[in-house]
């Protein structure tokens, strides 16, 4: 019963991270272990986690998915050596929080596009617009830009 419920939840809901032309792009989550808490409406994936939707891939040591009362994703939190990819944009951090159309990379955050690099303590990346906000708390923001030749 539980597994059927959970599979239905994963198959029928859609979340807006990286919307493509097709709104019903499936989400693939792989991990060594899954713990679903029906009372709290959370799913925790542990060990070698990979989540994919469209052109977005996130890899992490663990991943928590928080669902609302309608079983739609409210928030996703990835922890432990997080690697984020969307098209030719690659990022990494200690933690990543996904809400709506935003990825927030926290802790030694870095984002790359080709050879260009932006580093800071927190990077807020808008998946729709491509806008980036970088914050430095413990250290200054650093950008390395290679002019096109």
Residue 68 has pLDDT above 80, yes or no: yes
The gap from C-alpha 3 to its chain's centroid, in whole angstroms, comes to 24
pLDDT digits (tens, 9 = 90+) for 81-118: 999 998 888 999 999 998 888 899 999 999 998 888 99
- 105 neighbors 93 (Cβ within 8 angstroms): yes
Mean per-residue pLDDT, 127-136: 87
Examine the pLDDT at 80 and tell me if it is beyond 50.
Answer: yes
What is the pLDDT, as a whole number, of residue 90? 92
Burial 104-119 (b: 16+ CB within 10 A, else e): bbbeebbbbeeeeebb
CA distances, 69 to each of 1, 43, 65, 73, 129 (Å):
19, 14, 13, 10, 29
* Chain mean pLDDT for the chain: 82
* pLDDT at 148 > cutoff 60: yes
Q: Phi and psi dihedrals of 50, rounded to 5? A: -135, 125
pTM attached to this predicted model: 0.77
> Of 118, 148, 144, which Cα lies nearest the Cα of 131?
118
Q: 37 is written with which tokens? A: 């808490």
Range from 33-42, 104-113, 131-140 carrying the lowest mean pLDDT: 131-140
State which CATH number among 3.90.79.10, 2.60.450.10, 2.40.160.20, 1.50.10.100 fits the domain covering 2-144: 2.60.450.10
């Amino acid at each position: 019963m539980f597994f059927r419920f959970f599979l239905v939840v994963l198959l029928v809901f859609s979340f807006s991270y990286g919307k493509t032309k097709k709104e019903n792009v499936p989400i693939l989550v792989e991990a060594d272990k899954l713990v679903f808490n029906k009372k709290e409406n959370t799913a925790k994936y542990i060990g070698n986690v990979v989540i994919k939707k469209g052109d977005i891939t996130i890899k992490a040591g663990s991943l928590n998915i928080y669902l609302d009362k309608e079983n739609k994703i409210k928030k996703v939190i990835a922890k432990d050596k997080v690697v984020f990819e969307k098209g030719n944009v690659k990022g990494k951090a200690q933690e990543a929080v996904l809400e709506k159309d935003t990825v927030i990379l926290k802790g030694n955050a870095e984002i790359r596009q080709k050879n260009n690099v932006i580093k800071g303590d927190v990077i807020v990346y808008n998946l729709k617009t491509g806008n980036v906000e970088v914050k430095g708390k413990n250290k200054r923001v650093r950008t390395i830009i290679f002019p096109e030749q």
